[in-house]
Amino acid sequence: MRNSVLSRALLGLLAGEPMSGYGLASLFKRTLARAWPARHPQIYPALAELERAGLIRVSEQGPRRRKTYAVTREGVAEAQEWLRATSPDRTVRNETILRLFMLWLLDAKEAAAFFDDEIAEHRRRLEGFEQTHAEDEAQRRIHGRAAGGPAFCAALALEWALRYEQEYVAWATSARDRIERDAAKWNAARGRRLASVDR
Partner DNA sequence: AGGCCCATGTAATTTGTTACATGATTCG
Partner DNA sequence: CGAATCATGTAACAAATTACATGGGCCT
- Binding mask 70-109 toward DNA (x if CB under 7 A, else -) reads ---------------------x-x----------------
Residue 187: other Cβ atoms inside 10 A: 15
H helix or E strand, kind and range, residue 190: helix 183-195
Nearer to its own copies, 14 or 21 (CB): 14
> Which one of DNA, its own copies, none interacts with residue 96, CB within 5 to 8 A by kind?
its own copies
Question: Which of 45, 35, 61 is closest to 7 using CA atoms?
Answer: 45
52 contributes a contact to DNA by CB under 7 A:
no
CA 25 to chain centre: 14
90 contributes a contact to its own copies by CB under 8 A:
yes
Residue 24 to residue 28: CA distance in whole angstroms:
6
The partner residues of 61 in beta bridges, in order of sequence, read: 67
Specify whether the CB–CB gap between 79 and 15 falls below 8 A: yes
Stretch that binds its own copies, among 46-54, 60-68, 71-79, 135-143 (CB under 8 A): 71-79
- Binding mask 139-178 toward its own copies (x if CB under 8 A, else -) reads -------xxxxx-xxx-xx-xx--xx--xx-xx---x--x
Considering only residues 11, 13, 14, 38, which one is a binding residue for DNA as defined by CB under 7 A? 38
What does DSSP assign to residue 20? E
Considering only residues 6, 27, 76, 151, which one is a binding residue for DNA as defined by CB under 7 A? 6
Amino acid at 69: Y
132 contributes a contact to DNA by CB under 7 A:
no
Nearer to DNA, 62 or 144 (CB): 62
Q: Which long-range contacts (CB under 8 A, 24 or more apart) does 23-30 make?
A: 23/68
Residue 34 to residue 125: CA distance in whole angstroms:
10
Residue 71: other Cβ atoms inside 10 A: 23
98 contributes a contact to its own copies by CB under 8 A:
yes
> Which one of its own copies, DNA, none interacts with residue 156, CB within 5 to 8 A by kind?
its own copies
Residues binding its own copies: number (CB under 8 A): 82
Residues that bind DNA (CB under 7 A): 2-6, 20-23, 25-26, 37-42, 44-45, 47-48, 62-67, 91, 93
